[in-house]
Chains A and B, each alone.
Chain A
Amino acid sequence: MSFEAFLIVAAILFCIGLFGALARRNVLVVLMSIELMFNAVNVTLVAMAKYLAPAALQDDISSVLTGQVFAVFIVTVAAAEIALGLGIVFAMYRTNESVDLTEATQLRH
């Protein structure tokens, strides 16, 4: 259970999420993939907080919590994102009768 192992697992999760966000038609799957990416980032942050020495360690022991603080903010932002994202999904579903992203091309040239 090394630091690198956490990083690699997080990287795998992130890349899976990225693939899903880019390659799936359904907007809900895209949203879920984005959540995957958020989680991968959170894992990375917390792992770094656990294993790495922050520059301000000597001054303030609480600097080892910085990674967790960031993770908290990301969770919050993710909550906001999903609320808005689902709102957009419903609005899109209402106009397009579909949640297929490839059909949402009103803004093309």
Chain B
Amino acid sequence: MVVQDVVFWILSVMAVCAALGVVLVKDLFRAALLLIVVFMAVAGFFVLLSAEFLAVVQVLIYVGAIAILIIFAVMLTRDVQHGNLPNRLQIPAAVFASLLLAVLVTVAVDTKWDFLPSEQQERAELVQTSSVTTLSGDVLTDSGVTSPDDQAEVQGSGLADLLIGDYVLPFEVVSVLLLAALIGALALVRPDPGTGRG
């Protein structure tokens, strides 16, 4: 536990500092690089939260695709060095962000959360990691899942099962959304047929 706590605090400091850097650093390129640091830290959080699959996805999509795209965009536009200027709303935005933070922290601390019972934590962890691990019978037995029915249940309830099972409709909708977004992006950046510029 201690190791994990230390890792958590290191990741937290890293994430918060990098996030501040993204917002405040003047050099856009550096801001983009700091964004990658934030993404990596968040991936670390996911590992800590036994969501290994999401951690992998985070690295692949955010670091591998989104951050790179943003870096391309930064390179393709001007004012890379001194581009990150504040606008006139800095003070109200800061006030608002602080207020929201206060509210969120209050809520997080004050709320009486309905925690997962400790006897279920093992099984929940098994289920949550099942998307990236093949659960052998031994592991299940070690974790206290002994009856064949329970084992079958735990094995049959991975993330993939959910995505193409209970959540298949949103899954398909999101697929269409992605397609639409791709087409839209193509339409937006396409050269203007009238002027030929672009």
Cβ of B181 and Cβ of A16 under 8 Å apart? Answer: no
Cβ of A39 and Cβ of B22 under 8 Å apart? Answer: no
Residues on the B chain within 8 Å of A97, using CB: 78
Q: Number of contact residues on B: which range applies?
A: 35 or more
Interface SS of chain B:
helix
Interface SS of chain A:
helix
Residues on the A chain within 8 Å of B76, using CB: 90, 93
Cβ of A53 and Cβ of B116 under 8 Å apart? Answer: yes
Cβ of A4 and Cβ of B108 under 8 Å apart? Answer: yes
Cβ of B159 and Cβ of A43 under 8 Å apart? Answer: no
Selected contact of A36 from candidates B19, B49, B161, B170, CB within 8 Å: B19
Most B C-beta atoms less than 10 A away, residue of A7, A25, A83 = A83
Most A C-beta atoms less than 10 A away, residue of B157, B192, B197 = B157
Taken residue by residue from 80 to 100, chain A's Cβ proximity to chain B (1 for < 8 Å, 0 otherwise) reads as 111110111111011001111
Cβ of B51 and Cβ of A50 under 8 Å apart? Answer: yes
B140 on interface, CB distance cutoff 8 Å: no
A84 to B109, CA, bound (A): 37
Taken residue by residue from 150 to 168, chain B's Cβ proximity to chain A (1 for < 8 Å, 0 otherwise) reads as 0001100111011100010
Q: Identify the A interface with B (CB < 8 A).
A: 1, 3-9, 11-20, 22-26, 28-29, 31-33, 35-36, 39, 42-43, 46-47, 49-53, 57, 60-62, 64-66, 68-69, 71-73, 75-84, 86-91, 93-94, 97-102
6 cross-chain CB contacts under 8 A:
A13-B15, A46-B45, A53-B117, A64-B116, A64-B128, A90-B76
